[in-house]
Chain A
Amino acid sequence: MEFLNLSLIFAAGWLVYRRPQRERLAFGLLVASAVLTVLLFSFATRTSLLPGMNY
């Protein structure tokens, strides 16, 4: 899944760099990557969603 996520980022960066008129698509890929990051981290840490500290 990290490979997919980095692919989204690379594609968005490429569009910004080489095809700047495709801003909407690039930003959409960026948002999708951000959402995926949050989901993957939350999923990986679901047994203790908050930092495991002495509260």
Chain B
Amino acid sequence: MQRQWVYTVLAVAVLALAVGPIGTAVFVLGFWYGDSPCVMCWEQRIAMALIALLGLFVLRYGPRPRYIGLSILVAGYGVFMALRHTALHASRDIGQGFSIEILGAHTYTWALFIFWAAILLMGALLMAVRERDAGGVIRTLRPLEKLAGAVFLVVMAGNLVQAFASTGPPPFMGQGDPVRFSFNPAHWVWSLEEYRAAPVGLRGRWAASKPDASKLDPDPSRGPFEWAPPLTLRGERTLALGLKGTPTGLDYDPDSDRFLLTTGDGVYLADGGLTRAERHAIVDVGYSVDLARFAGAAFLDAATVMAVSNNKSFVILRESDKADASKNFRHFRESFDRFDEVRRGRFSTVRARMMYVMSAAYDPTRQSIFTITVPNERSRGMVVSRFDRRDLTLSEEFVARLSPEAGVRLRGERSLDELYVTGAAVHDGRLFALSAAYSILLEIDLDVRVVVGARSVPGLSRPAGIAFKDGELWVVTEEGKVLTFDLTPAPRPASS
């Protein structure tokens, strides 16, 4: 290659890589501040060294295709490594992270930028390469290029010292949480912890199954409670509203004497007898915010309704006889002129973050929306989350515990975590939660955040939502049935 400027740029790039991230990491952060790389940091640093070394190869032998190809492979894998590492800490609160930060960013996030910049630079240099440049001659290094090579070797020597002290000779390996670097051998920790048996997975703890209540055991006698007073069934009939899909949520508004139902993507307003649908809309759940599948329904006022999805995203609709069908095309798939979309967003949680929900309830007194988690194979715990209606932001979270005064007892080692709440509603200031598993209705005192009562609900199969009307509990099921119960439990039999 005749154009020496390309080699000059490359030599500067090698120098910058060796002195900047790799040299600073070992001599400043490591030897001066005592920072030790974790096992992932080590591999990212080594990948940077490989890119610098490939630059030296090009300086010495010219831009052979295998150097360019391997550079792209290493830098591409470097981007992946940096993403994998950064993802561990990306969602923490501001300023939090792992180990030392530089210019406000932790080292592993800088790696993402460096690998990305390396790919860009290689692409730019490739554009300057001609076919005749890829010859097999050994170049004589110019002074700047010699300097790049010498600095690279010095930096590598420093890394060898740090690697020997921090990770040890083979088979010892870098650690997930390394101790501070020291030149004193008494403080060196050579570990084999990474060799411990561990499950192999693609997404780790994020690989949680979507909620599914279809295979739950509805029998209260096999549930976690020794006994729970049963509710008395008042009536049962088949829902005949012409829903498109199975019910997923229910609520009742006493002011307008109407019910609200949701299906997977539908919102329906029905009369107070739940016999006739007055208006509905099929929401485009895949447009903008991913609404997944609606799991709960709530009246926010007589004309404003909310549908909460199992991923805690939500949509707020307001009924309107003057809705602009053309404007609403983007929001709905059917019935464009029956509602206006007020807002579409996502609830963010802390304790409930790794769990889905299958219910939602609104408490007008507290002006709050409640969701209750369902367990999955990786996360258990019945987490109640409260969101303030005014800013739709998490305002309270608690794991519901059973009060000693609840009048019911858990069997042995059984717990409330086994319950699978698919319907929730606020009644008389208390949150009621119906579990499809074992057909148990919990009564939660929102002031003291404990379960103060539990009742069994006989004859249930796959309940999807609950509501209270005139002191009665209304339940809709996924099978399209409506059941009503007297909320006063039957007395405990003498033999129980």
Which residues of A pack against B, CB within 8 Å? 1-7, 9-10, 12-14, 16-17, 20-21, 23, 26-27, 30-31, 33-34, 37-38, 40-41, 43-55
Contacts of A23 in B (CB 8 A): 57, 60-61, 138
* Minimum CB distance partner of A44 in chain B: B39
**B73 touching A34, Cβ below 8 Å:** yes
In the complex with contacts A9-B49, A13-B152, A46-B198 CB distance below 8 A: yes
**B39 touching A40, Cβ below 8 Å:** yes
Contacts of A16 in B (CB 8 A): 53, 56-57, 60, 149
**A48 touching B202, Cβ below 8 Å:** yes
B90 within 8 A of A: yes
* Minimum CB distance partner of A40 in chain B: B43
Q: B337-353 vs A: 1/0 string, CB under 8 Å? A: 00000000000000000
Stretch at the interface among B158-166, B251-259, B315-323, B395-403: B158-166
Contacts of B171 in A (CB 8 A): 1
Q: B22-60 vs A: 1/0 string, CB under 8 Å? A: 000000000000000001101100110110011011001
A44 to B50, CA, bound (A): 19
**B172 touching A50, Cβ below 8 Å:** no
* Minimum CB distance partner of B190 in chain A: A3
How many residues belonging to B are interface residues under a CB distance threshold of 8 Å?
Answer: 60
In the complex with contacts A20-B61, A30-B70, A44-B176, A50-B203 CB distance below 8 A: yes
In the complex with contacts A9-B46, A37-B43, A3-B54 CB distance below 8 A: no
Contacts of B174 in A (CB 8 A): 1-2, 40, 44
**A46 touching B200, Cβ below 8 Å:** yes
Contacts of A41 in B (CB 8 A): 39-40, 43, 77, 81, 84
**B156 touching A37, Cβ below 8 Å:** no
B474–chain A nearest beta-carbon distance, Å: 35
B143 within 8 A of A: no
In the complex with contacts A1-B170, A47-B200, A53-B87, A9-B206 CB distance below 8 A: no
Q: A6-B159, A17-B60, A41-B43 are in contact. List 10 more A-B contacts (CB 8 A).
A: A2-B46, A2-B166, A10-B157, A16-B57, A16-B149, A20-B61, A30-B53, A45-B40, A46-B200, A48-B201
